[in-house]
Each structure stands twice: as C-alpha cells, then as structure tokens.
Amino acid sequence: MIKKGFLRLGIVFLYLLSLLPFWFLYLISDVLFVVIYYIAHYRRAVVQQNLANAFPEKSVQERQTIERKYYRYLADLMVETIKMITVSEKQIKKRVVATNAELVHEYFAKGKSIIAVAGHYCNWEMAALNFNFVTDKRFMIVYKPLSNHTFDEFFIKIRSRFGGQPVAMKQTLRKMVEYRKELTVSVLVGDQTPVMHEVSYFANFLNQPTAVFLGIEKIAKTIDTAVVFYDMKRVKRGYYTYTLVPLTENPKQTAEHEITNMHVAYLEGMIRREPQYWLWSHRRWKFKPEDLHR
C-alpha cells in the first residue's frame, strides 16, 4: 500500500512537470543528460555493446559520437514523454506532421484497413498521438503491458487522450477480427523483443540475427490489411515528421516472412540514416538462434 502511494505521488509529480512549457522542459533535459550519461552511466555498457555489434565498421570514436548524441536525445525523449500527459491537440499538430496523410484515405477508399508499423525510433508515442487526427476511423495503439499496474494504467490514459484505443499485444488479433467489418488503423511497434517461448524466427537486423515477432505478418494476412511503415524524422528539437511508406497492399500474396523482413529492413535503413534516434539502451539481442535448440 505504501509503495502504491509513492507511485501515485510520483504520477502527480509528473503531471505537474508536464504543465511546464517545452522550453523549460528542455532545460531540464540538458541537466538530465549530464546525470544519466556522466553521473549515473545509465546502461552505458548495454549501449556500447549494441553499437559495437551493429556498427563494427565504424571506429570507436564514431561510435562514441553516436553514443553521446543518443543520450542527449534520450533525455529529450524523457521530458517529451512527460509533456504528453497534458500536451494540447494544437501542440501535437504543430510539432508532429504527417507528410502524406492522404495515403490513409486512399486505402480506405479501396476498403482496406491499415497496419502501421513503427519502431522505437524518434518519438514514436507522439507520432501515434498525432495519427488520431489523420483519420476519423477506429484507431488502435497496440502496446506491451507494463508489469506495474499503476504505471500501466497511467500510460493507457496518455495513449487514449485523443481518442486512440490502446490494445494489449496479446489481444491484438482478437480485437482486429472483432472489428474486421470496420475500416481501422492499428499501430504496432515492430522491434519488440519476444519472450523465449515465443521465438520462432530470426531476421538479419543491424549486422546480427535478431529474434522478431511474426504477429504483424500473421495479423495482416488473417485480416488482409494494407501494411505501411512509419518513417520518422526529427526536424529539430521537439519537432518531427513521419511519412507512411507502403510495404504491401495485398499481404496474402506475399511469401512467408516477406512482410517481416520488409519492416525489419526498413527500420534498419532508418536507423543507419540517423542512428542516435533509436532506443540503444534497450536489451534487444537477448536470444541467439542456437538458444532455440537448447
């Protein structure tokens, strides 16, 4: 009970922080960067190993530059996430812009629902909030539930602020089958790490075999939805664009693993373009192909 009380106090504190203007939050971010990078050394060993494995062709100095840029951006991402608690519709529309929203309506005109694949790249959560204003159809945000119930409810409220419908990952197929007679948009993050008993396929991603979920491909083929990829770019501090890149309009005509390999390859290309905006502190490579045979 005491722990839950502290968590709720923490949420109140975050709410109060979110009321601060962006410019002030970025001053906090400047301090936060120093704390997490130089003082706390937050997951620096994980980041350094991930960068070394992903970019063996780069020098140590080049990887260190990416590392510092990543932590600077991570601090920004933290304060931007806090701001999402109370950010206005006007601010979301101003700071995140869809460059080709008309693609959504073109698919709808063909009677096609859409799966939009994102990565843990730039501010993917803010882009999802913006997508609410691209369509008036049912908009589902697929998420991986947190182990802490209090914070899980907290993030559900943030994701649903502008009408989005959060859907727990394991309920995705059931929900999409339930709404299959409607035109819908569903956002799924394609670079989540599966748990060991769910690993059945490894894709080549950032210079190493990587365990990936096959759920996006399975759902697309079951419901026969169009699949697009969120190509996000950071324009400047606090401002982003995203472009919806078509991957397939007819998933049932694709080969096994083709859709999975396409969205994995597109994310890699985006990361190689500007690597500092991907979530390098995530322990993405927990499993190896040989683990399946133990």
Say which DSSP state 39 is in: I
- What is the residue-averaged pLDDT of the chain? 92
For residue range 162-179, list pLDDT tens digits in order. 988 999 888 888 898 899
Beta strands 239-248 and 96-98: pairing type? parallel
Is 206 within the bounds of a domain? yes
Is 293 within the bounds of a domain? no
Instruction: Provide the residue range defining the domain that includes 280.
Output: 2-286
Rounded CA-CA distance 147/124 in Å is 21
Domain count, the chain: 1
For residue range 85-130, list pLDDT tens digits in order. 999 999 999 999 999 999 999 999 999 999 999 999 999 999 999 9
Beta strands 208-211 and 202-205: pairing type? antiparallel
Give the C-alpha distances (Å, rounded to integers) separating 43 from 9, 78, 280.
Answer: 26, 15, 9
Is 291 within the bounds of a domain? no
How many residues appear in the chain? 294
Could you tell me the two tokens for 224?
Answer: 């026969």
Q: Which of 219, 68, 207, 199 is nearest to 140 (CA)?
A: 219
Which residues have a Cβ under 8 Å from the Cβ of 194 and sit 6 or more positions away? 211, 212, 213
Is 277 within the bounds of a domain? yes
Q: Which of 108, 86, 96 is nearest to 157 (CA)?
A: 86
Is 294 within the bounds of a domain? no
Is 129 within the bounds of a domain? yes
Is 62 within the bounds of a domain? yes
Mean pLDDT of all residues in 18-25: 97
Rounded CA-CA distance 118/187 in Å is 7
Rounded percentage of the chain residues whose pLDDT exceeds 90:
74
Is 179 within the bounds of a domain? yes
